[in-house]
Structure 1
């Protein structure tokens, strides 16, 4: 036990159902806490019991009204710090602003780092989260961060629920998820494939440079013959019938480019794995490409289902058999609108076990493999 003190659980308004499930698994009640809003929009927090010299875990996910939820978390941390809590751990199932993790354009902010700074300044001692969008976010903190994985429960789902999974193939919808799918494929003993996505603007820039170069050399045809990558981009890379200009709900279509599938999915069951789904543009292009490449069945698995702009009906119209997500974000309302295609994997077991182990000073190693606690699905 952490210095002889007990576990105290707090939650804001972001995901009360998950906090209650964690509390039930630990056999520890949630502390009574009022999180309200003044008429001008300011957030007010009142913790109804003492947390002095206690080991406090604040459960708050970065979902829905992400800015309000983040402010609630920061104020809860600050309130516990000024109330003399011995240690404060922020349990953030879905880390907010995780996609803003690098300066990929001029003057772009690295907001994931800013959030890390704010958590530390508020008084947080430790962070527990699940499937960070980018691993380098752990390095943004000056305090310990445990980034847990939903991979073990996804592997259990694949083995238990996907008929003929031993002949399936694991696919990443973009190059950024290559490591994720190769790890999962290795643990399942399956092949993997990769969809490499390009942006149209890159082709326009490349085409401009090629034209200038060809004008100077006076040998346009020879230049193209000497550039096999350019040939691929302009021929079979037209996504096997998928038009890059086809409108896809969620993002401007003029930014969606051509795709290249590396791997054979013909007549196979495909398990398409991503870390989060927001607008659904990436997975929409991926599923259509996979179907055109001959995939027999497609199961879509993602850690975080953000589902922007009530995109559930749109996602359900894709050529997939099941959409599987975890409950790092509330999903019950989405499940009701999914026509039974949406499967929710419960992460309360892995989070409650991480809290118990953190409090007792035990290793988290078992939580990173299939030996971890079995989560329920609904």
Structure 2
């Protein structure tokens, strides 16, 4: 087994490498003067089982091209099997045609990865589970729930915790976490008038006196979370903490979260945290390296990955 890392999240790649006890393969990813990407594998990969670690986070197009070019270099170097390990799968929110004359970009990206030469894909908390069906190769969608569950149990008395879905679409994800910690479930019913803005309309459930845990897959602008926190506190919640898998946190999101009524925003390192995220007083990062490392190890040994979440 060999592990090749792109430039999107070197810190996570090194953590996974350390967990597996396998050093990162020597691979140079650099730019020409006109910013074209050039990849050179600096060790033999012929006949090897290779895992390419690369989140397609901001800048999404650059990191996606890096992933595709690394896969192509491995295919042309006669790697036996290539697994694209994509902790954060960019373009996942474009998984259907929301209106006329629009693309399904998630399907296009799936086609690109497949045709580049990947034999398998490992990803984490896809925005929509059906994106697995966009790939014509085996795709394992891991879940951050075990990592979050461990952290919640270490910090909260689960007798007083309530899990909250910030919208109707995330109920399945929130219910799964609530079941793990044996906590009740509430739902925030919101209406979005235009992209990037949301208005909380109603809380389905009684959060009075509870430590509320908001659960979602992506935090981008942070508007939904901050509005949901205010609505829950207005309904009598004791505190509101958010556990989100992918901390996109674009634009002024970090400042918005820092000045909000959220007790804490907990994100994973599926996307490399920026300096602003690391400096924020109420944003904390937990590592998915052991989870991803174990999934990689089981894939290499042809063992069950789904049993990680049983």
Query: What band does the TM-score fall into relative to the shorter chain?
Result: over 0.9
Partner of 1:106: 100
Map of 1:359 onto structure 2:
300
User: Which consecutive residues of structure 1, in runs of 5 or more, have no partner in the other structure?
Assistant: 1-6, 202-249, 370-378
CA change 1:87–1:200 in 2 (3 A) is closer
1 or 2, which has the higher strand percentage?
Answer: 2
Who is 1:206 aligned against? none
- SS of equivalent residue, structure 2 residue 136: coil
Residue 280 of structure 2 aligns with which residue? 338
| Residue 269 (structure 2) aligned to one of 317, 321, 327 | 327
Task: Give the Å deviation of 1:32.
Answer: 1.1
- Cα distance in 2, alignment partners of residues 257 and 288 from structure 1: 11
Stretches of 4+ aligned residues off by more than 4 angstroms: none
Aligned twin of 1:348:
289
Q: Is 1:48 the counterpart of 2:42 in the alignment? A: yes
Distance between the aligned counterparts of 2:168 and 2:231, measured in 1?
15
| SS of match in other structure, 1:10 | strand
Distance 1:128 1:360 in 2: 15
SS in 2 for 1:28: coil
The 5 A counterparts of 1:185-204 are 185-200=178-193
Alignment-derived partner of residue 32 in structure 1: 26
Deviation at 1:359, TM superposition (A): 0.8
Shift of residue 352, structure 1, vs aligned partner: 0.9
Change (3 A) 1:200 1:331: closer
Give the number of aligned pairs. 310
Give the CA deviation at 1:55.
0.4
1:117 is aligned to 111
For the Cα contact (< 8 Å) 2:226–2:262, is it kept in 1?
no
| Contact preservation (8 Å) 1:34, 1:45 | yes
8 Å contact 2:125–2:144 — kept in the other structure?
Answer: yes
Q: Which residue of the other structure, out of 277, 282, 290, is the alignment partner of 2:224?
A: 282
1:93 aligns with: 87
Q: How far does the alpha carbon of each residue in 1:154-193 deviate from its partner, in whole angstroms, 9 at most, with x for none? A: 111111012x332111001101101111111122111110
Which residue in the other structure is 1:139 paired with? 133
What's the counterpart of residue 262 of structure 1?
204
Residue 303 (structure 1) aligns with: 245
Q: Is the 2:199–2:227 contact (alpha carbons within 8 Å) kept by the matching residues of 1?
A: no
Residue deviations 1:286-309 (CA, integer Å, cap 9, x gap)? 111111111110111100000102
Q: Deviations over 1:235-263 (max 9, x none)?
A: xxxxxxxxxxxxxxx93x5xx34522100
User: What is the CA-CA distance between 1:31 and the residue it aligns to?
Assistant: 1.1
Task: Report matched runs for 1:241-260 at 5 Å.
Answer: 251=196, 256-260=198-202
Give the TM-score normalised by the residue count of structure 2: 0.96
Task: Look up the SS of the partner of 1:308 in the other structure.
Answer: coil
Query: 1-side partners of 2:140 and 2:276: how far apart?
Result: 29
Q: CA deviation at 1:335?
A: 4.2
Cα distance change on mapping 1:343 and 1:116 into 2, 3 Å? same
Larger Rg: 1
Partners of 2:141 and 2:266 in 1: CA distance: 20
CA distance in 1, matches of 2:141, 2:103: 23
Q: Are 2:149 and 1:152 aligned?
A: no
Deviation, 1:47, is: 0.6
How far apart are the structure 2 equivalents of 1:37 and 1:265? 52
How many Å apart are 1:332 and its aligned residue?
5.8
* 2:251 match: secondary structure: helix
Task: Report if the CA contact (8 A) 1:200-1:258 is conserved.
Answer: no
